[in-house]
Amino acid sequence: MNMKNNLPKIAIVGYGSMGKEIEKSALAKGFQISNIFEIDKQIDANQNYDFDVAIDFSFPDSVLENVRSLSKLKKNIVLATTGWKKHEETIKRIVSDNDIGLVYGSNFSVGMNILFGIVENASQMLNNHPDYDISINEIHHTRKKDSPSGTALSLADIILKQLHRKNKILDDTSRGTIPGDALHVTSARVGDITGTHTVYIDSIADTIELTHRAKNRSGFAQGALLAAEWIYGKKGYFDFRDVLNNIWKKD
């Protein structure tokens, strides 16, 4: 803990575009950055590092090994990388076995998480209005490795849980017509777009478009730092929505 301002000392895992954004935002907010791990640098589980919480914005292929190493060090984690969900049960077990705290999220933008709540409510309402269909489109820069994005899949998961007539996802690999019980999720990769997600709700009478458009990377960094501050000293496996819901209830 940084006793000067009661903020946790942080480590940045993955020093790419988002890692640098975390560094800039953290310093502006008074966080002490104790360690920075480059994308290709492994975390030594036998070394004594002086940080409280690690923020991981590395690559999907690095996540499992990073969590193993950080858990052995008894360090809490903000897992902001996407594309690792196939390892989720293993990661849950590692967190539990090592008695640490971890916050994960497909998107650490507060605005995007507000949209999650709006889409959840809208999807519930659509159960009473069968004339409306729904789909998701996401656009990102050409360097993004996963498609559909983790955020688009989170939106899809919310819709599938709330809207009874949708029970499966069809993405860009699908061909032919879209059956009524399928949720169509489409992706585009172009230029340097930070991230745009739109949920389309359409009927013969009208169309509703619910869009979150990230203007830059600062929103993701601010959310990750909020999660780092919240998870310090806690144990367990949490979604970033748990963090925000806890904060909003207090307010």
Residue among 9, 140, 166, 197 flagged as catalytic: 140
Q: Which residues contact 131 (CB under 8 A, 6 or more apart)?
A: 203, 204, 205
Asked if the structure places residue 52 within a domain, the reply is: yes
Asked if the structure places residue 5 within a domain, the reply is: no
Regarding whether 208 and 121 lie in a shared domain, the answer is: yes
Give the pLDDT confidence of 123-155 residue by residue, as tens digits.
999 999 999 999 999 999 999 888 999 899 999
- CATH number for the domain spanning 73: value is 3.40.50.720
Q: How many domains does the chain have?
A: 2
Regarding whether 190 and 117 lie in a shared domain, the answer is: yes
Residue among 9, 75, 144, 197 flagged as catalytic: 144
Regarding whether 190 and 245 lie in a shared domain, the answer is: no
In the residue annotation, 144 being an active-site residue is answered as: yes
First to last CA, the chain: 25
Query: From CA 223, how far away is CA 105, in angstroms rounded?
Result: 10
Regarding whether 204 and 190 lie in a shared domain, the answer is: yes
For 41: left if phi > 0, alpha if psi spans -120 to 50, otherwise beta; the answer is: beta
Regarding whether 168 and 82 lie in a shared domain, the answer is: no
Give the pLDDT confidence of 182-239 residue by residue, as tens digits.
999 999 999 999 999 999 999 999 999 999 999 999 999 999 999 999 999 999 999 9
Give the pLDDT confidence of 215-229 residue by residue, as tens digits.
999 999 999 999 999
Q: Which domain holds residue 143?
A: 110-213
Give the DSSP letter of residue 86.
Answer: G
- CATH number for the domain spanning 195: value is 3.30.360.10
DSSP per-residue letters across 34-58: EEEE-TTPPP-TTS----SEEEE-S
